């Protein structure tokens, strides 16, 4: 869960420290006070896109830092371990610096990480739900994603098998289309490919050749220096003061000592003897090397000519010899395909037909598994939305065959809803109001929060378009979610604010002729005053204060 948040020079915030607790925390305040800016700042900690616009005017960079309790986030801990990030305690410090150039730096426990790694880790800890995600409910593709997430791996193998078959099928279709579009330009390209292939083939490329050429060229170029060094080394081992002779004498002396003091210097004698034989072998190796070493100008010219040829080929076709070999193989395949056009297209059509049949089989197995999970998800969603003041609502998950297989399966999957009794099931984008969408999304969040293992969820005005009894039900649902994980919520609803465990008031104030944001936790009369403002608007009366007090007492009783 998020324990503390530090924001510096971010948007209109100059410096802000916020302490969070478990349970339900509500952020309220006047429009434009900076509530959503705080959510945006937290968004930077989970890897959302940074922008130079986030840096406070006149400053070089913005800094956001969060302290997270990861005691129960086992998947996040596993990922951190894979990244080599030390976790000395059950806490994680996440920091994001955004520069006015637009660039940013991400750190976890003071270790720099990529934006991708930050996102991978933080999605296991924190979920931010904004109004754009509610609108995503109107998109059919999102329905497939929700169903697959709810399955929680139940048919991962079937999904992966289908996707692999689909990719192979698409690759074969693309390959056939390219062959069938062959024209004069392709024939001209064939001449160029043949020239390139012949040039590479004639070079007789070898994978490790460059490294060996460099060694051989260096040897010949430095043959005079090498001969001198070899000779000096050999003389050191063979002249009248040769070290091997002295080692032999030392070994003899140690043997005499051993006869008087058994085993005292036996190990030392063994080491001396071993060193002696090593140097004796080196003496013979140096001698052989001296006899083989000579300056061969013709060989040097051949080697340098070969190196120039390889360098020219690398400049033309690839970065290294391995690339050239791969390119040569690719050219050979393409030349064969073009020259054997009829045979190639016939084989491709046969492969496509076979993959098409396999794709249907794999798709049917995937759909069967999805339908089974969909029945459970449908019942779960209906139960949740009916508890959110949509008592007569019905929802079904529709499966209709695509005209042709798609990347996500062979069937069009869509959530259909009937908000009221007697109405037919229709697409969400045709029938659901903003308030109904908000309640459906909250129902989904309450379902997924128990399965995803995250430790905190942030709602940015998820209660938009809701009022009355529906607002009360949404407040109760958020509280139920907060009993499982930490919930931080921006809300304009007094029902939600009065249900909260902690109420933070966001306000704007002037400092040094500039506007900045301040945060204050409300308790007692101050909390009653703010809930009263949320009930009535600008004018707060004693009557609205009394209503606010009663609402707080009632909802705190629900908490108990």
Question: Residues 124, 217: one domain?
Answer: no
Q: Name, in order, each residue with C-beta under 8 angstroms of 453's C-beta and a sequence gap of 6 or more.
A: 73, 74, 75, 124
Torsion angle, alpha carbons of 251, 257, 262, 265, to 10: -50
Q: What is the mean pLDDT of the chain?
A: 86
Q: What is the pLDDT of residue 397?
A: 94
Using the 3D structure, point to which of 318, 339, 355 is the last residue of a domain.
Answer: 318
pTM greater than the 0.75 cutoff: no
Whether 288 is covered by a domain: the verdict is yes
Tally of domains in the chain: 3
H helices, E strands: number in the chain: 20, 15
Question: Residues 264, 293: one domain?
Answer: yes
- Mean pLDDT for 154-177 is 94
Question: Residues 286, 227: one domain?
Answer: yes
Residue 406 phi, psi dihedral angles, 5° rounding: -115, 175
Structure tokens at 458: 């942030």
More confident of the two residues 498 and 189: 498
Question: Residues 490, 536: one domain?
Answer: no
Whether 165 is covered by a domain: the verdict is no
- Mean pLDDT for 49-58 is 90
Question: Residues 122, 223: one domain?
Answer: no
Whether 230 is covered by a domain: the verdict is yes
Cα separation, 426 vs 99, whole angstroms: 47
Question: Residues 487, 554: one domain?
Answer: no
Domain encompassing residue 220: 201-318
Q: What is the pLDDT of residue 290?
A: 74
Q: DSSP string of 27-60?
A: EEESTTSSHHHHHHHHHHHTTPPP-GGGBPTT-S
Using the 3D structure, point to which of 318, 345, 367 is the last residue of a domain.
Answer: 318
Question: Residues 461, 549: one domain?
Answer: no
Q: Residue 66 gets which letter from DSSP?
A: E
Cα separation, 527 vs 546, whole angstroms: 12
Question: Residues 28, 39: one domain?
Answer: yes
Whether 24 is covered by a domain: the verdict is yes
Q: Name, in order, each residue with C-beta under 8 angstroms of 428's C-beta and a sequence gap of 6 or more.
A: 137, 138, 415, 416, 417, 437, 440
Question: Residues 123, 23: one domain?
Answer: yes
Q: What CATH number has the domain bearing residue 32?
A: 3.40.50.300
Question: Residues 256, 305: one domain?
Answer: yes
Using the 3D structure, point to which of 254, 285, 318 is the last residue of a domain.
Answer: 318
227-241, 254-268, 362-376, 520-534: which range is least confident on average? 227-241
Judged by DSSP in three states, 336 sits in helix
Cα separation, 298 vs 509, whole angstroms: 85
More confident of the two residues 347 and 166: 166
Q: What is the pLDDT of residue 97?
A: 95
Pairing of strands 61-69, 2-10: antiparallel
Token pair 């969408």 is found at 437
Whether 191 is covered by a domain: the verdict is no
Whether 178 is covered by a domain: the verdict is no
Q: What is the pLDDT of residues 446-470, one digit of tens each?
A: 887 765 566 788 888 776 777 788 8
Q: What is the pLDDT of residue 252?
A: 85
160-164, 171-175, 237-241, 518-522: which range is least confident on average? 237-241
Cα separation, 180 vs 189, whole angstroms: 15
Question: Residues 518, 529: one domain?
Answer: no
Judged by DSSP in three states, 62 sits in strand
Whether 448 is covered by a domain: the verdict is no
Cα separation, 7 vs 519, whole angstroms: 12
Q: What is the pLDDT of residue 148?
A: 92
More confident of the two residues 88 and 510: 510
Question: Residues 511, 541: one domain?
Answer: no
Listed as own residue / partner, the contacts of 192-201 with beta carbons closer than 8 Å and 24 or more positions apart are 193/331, 193/334, 193/335, 193/338, 194/335, 196/317, 196/327, 196/331, 197/328, 197/331, 197/332, 197/335, 199/313, 200/313, 200/317, 200/324, 200/327, 200/328, 200/331, 201/328
Whether 338 is covered by a domain: the verdict is no
Cα separation, 145 vs 124, whole angstroms: 17
Asked if 205 and 326 touch (Cβ cutoff 8 Å), the reply is no
């Amino acid at each position: 869960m998020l324990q503390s948040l530090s924001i510096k020079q971010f948007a209109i915030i100059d410096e802000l420290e916020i302490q969070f607790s478990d349970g339900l925390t509500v952020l309220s305040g006047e429009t434009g006070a900076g509530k959503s800016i705080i959510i945006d700042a937290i968004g930077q900690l989970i890897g959302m896109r940074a922008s130079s616009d986030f840096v406070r005017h006149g400053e070089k960079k913005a800094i956001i830092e969060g302290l997270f309790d990861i005691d129960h986030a086992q998947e996040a801990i596993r990922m951190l371990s894979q990244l080599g990030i030390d976790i000395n305690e059950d806490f994680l410090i996440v920091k994001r610096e955004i520069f006015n150039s637009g660039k940013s730096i991400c750190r976890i426990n003071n270790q720099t990480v990529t934006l991708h790694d930050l996102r991978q880790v933080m999605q296991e800890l924190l979920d931010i739900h904004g109004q754009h995600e509610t609108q995503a409910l109107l998109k059919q593709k999102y329905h497939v994603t929700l169903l697959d997430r709810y399955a929680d791996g139940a048919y991962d193998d079937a999904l992966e098998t289908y996707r692999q078959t689909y990719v192979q099928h698409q690759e074969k279709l693309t390959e056939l289309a390219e062959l069938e579009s062959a024209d004069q330009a392709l024939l001209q390209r064939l001449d160029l490919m043949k020239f390139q292939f012949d040039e590479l083939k004639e070079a007789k490329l070898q994978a490790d050749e460059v490294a060996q050429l460099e060694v051989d060229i260096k040897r010949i170029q430095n043959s005079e220096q090498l001969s001198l060094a070899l000779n000096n080394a050999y003389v050191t081992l063979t002249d009248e003061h040769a070290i091997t002779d002295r080692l032999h004498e030392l070994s003899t002396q140690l043997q005499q000592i051993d006869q008087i003091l058994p085993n005292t210097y036996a190990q030392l004698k063994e080491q001396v003897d071993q060193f002696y034989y090593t140097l004796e072998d080196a003496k013979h190796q140096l001698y052989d090397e001296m006899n083989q070493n000579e300056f061969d100008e013709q060989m040097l010219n051949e080697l340098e000519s070969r190196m120039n040829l390889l360098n020219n080929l690398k400049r033309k076709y690839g970065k290294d010899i391995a690339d050239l070999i791969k390119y040569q193989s690719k050219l050979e395949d393409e030349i064969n395909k073009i020259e054997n056009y009829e045979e190639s297209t016939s084989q491709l059509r046969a492969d496509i037909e076979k993959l098409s049949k396999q794709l249907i089989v794999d798709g049917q197995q995937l759909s069967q598994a999805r339908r089974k999970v969909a029945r459970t998800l449908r019942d779960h969603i209906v139960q949740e939305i009916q508890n959110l003041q949509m008592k007569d609502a019905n929802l079904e998950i529709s499966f209709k065959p695509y005209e042709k297989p798609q990347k996500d399966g062979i069937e069009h999957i869509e959530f259909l809803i009937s908000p009221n009794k007697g109405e037919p099931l229709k697409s969400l984008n045709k029938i659901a109001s903003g308030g109904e969408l908000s309640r459906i999304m909250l129902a989904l969040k309450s379902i997924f929060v128990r399965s995803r293992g995250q430790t905190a969820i942030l709602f940015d005005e998820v209660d938009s378009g809701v009022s009355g009894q529906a607002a009360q039900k949404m407040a109760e649902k958020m509280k139920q979610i907060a009993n499982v994980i930490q919930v931080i919520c921006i809300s304009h609803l007094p029902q939600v604010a009065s249900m909260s465990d902690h109420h933070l008031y966001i306000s704007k104030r002037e400092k040094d002729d500039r506007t900045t944001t301040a945060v204050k936790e409300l308790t007692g009369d101050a909390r009653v005053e703010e809930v009263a403002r949320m009930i009535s608007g600008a004018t707060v009366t004693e009557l609205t204060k009394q209503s606010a007090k009663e609402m707080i007492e009632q909802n705190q009783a629900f908490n108990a």
